[in-house]
Amino acid sequence: MILIWMSLSPPGSVLLQQTDGDRQTPLDLVSALSQREELLRSAQAGDSARTNKDKTEVLNLPLLEAGSSLLAHLIFSYQKERGLPGLTQSGNRPHTLVYKLAAALEKHSLQKVTSDWTDQRAVRLAEDVETLLRLSRGEHKEQVSAAAKECRGENTVFLMEALENLQANGKALVADFW
């Protein structure tokens, strides 16, 4: 019962609507009135938590700022250490390795593109290009909370700008080969 209660907390009443193979809901499977009431209260708490999730209040600004600083510096250090070659090179960019990888990854999955590769550095480069392509499509935005997006702390603003720059680099990469 505790496992069901813990599962109900985030999603709420959505889980109470699920059915098993016999088309029974969780409430159908609980016979004790007190347990049914507990399930309903837990579902309501989950619904309330999901409704309040959209609030943009930062509950621990120092923690958000510290995490933002660490993540932004990690992104920049990674770019500096193993940045994607070709993004800043002039000349015939669509024929560089990064652009060829990007074009292949737009058409095929990473697993298909790299399935026979033995050079792990090349695989990591393909993973980096795939990440950049995902950033260009804005797939990261749903993972960033509204509180972080709206926070005006110096480190958090820096992180949001870093993510926007990565997204712009990804869009530029895609635009060059289309």
* Domain spans in the chain, listed from the N-terminal domain onward: 1-54, 59-177
Which of 11-20, 47-56, 66-75, 95-104 has the highest mean predicted lDDT (pLDDT)?
66-75
Judge whether residue 103 has pLDDT over 70.
yes
Handedness of CA 123, 126, 131, 137 (dihedral sign): negative
For residues 11 and 156, which has the higher predicted lDDT (pLDDT)?
156
Cα–Cα dist 79/136, whole Å: 16
Q: What is the pLDDT of residue 131?
A: 85
Q: Supply angle C-alpha 65, 131, 104, rounded to 5.
A: 170
| Residue 69 pLDDT level (bands cut at 50, 70, 90) | very high
Q: In this predicted structure, what is the pLDDT of residue 53?
A: 53
Residue by residue, DSSP assigns 137-163 as TTTTGGGS-HHHHH---HHHHHHHHHH
Mean pLDDT of the chain: 78
Specify whether the CB–CB gap between 160 and 148 falls below 8 A: yes
pLDDT at 21 over 80: no
**Residue range 95-111: average pLDDT?**
85
Which has the higher per-residue pLDDT, 88 or 127?
A: 127
Question: Lowest mean pLDDT: which of 23-37, 46-60, 81-95, 140-154?
Answer: 81-95
Give the sign of the dihedral formed by CA 88, CA 94, CA 99, CA 102.
Answer: positive
The stretch 83-100 carries a mean pLDDT of 60
Report the alpha-carbon angle 147-153-159, nearest 5: 80
Is the confidence at residue 2, as pLDDT, over 50? no
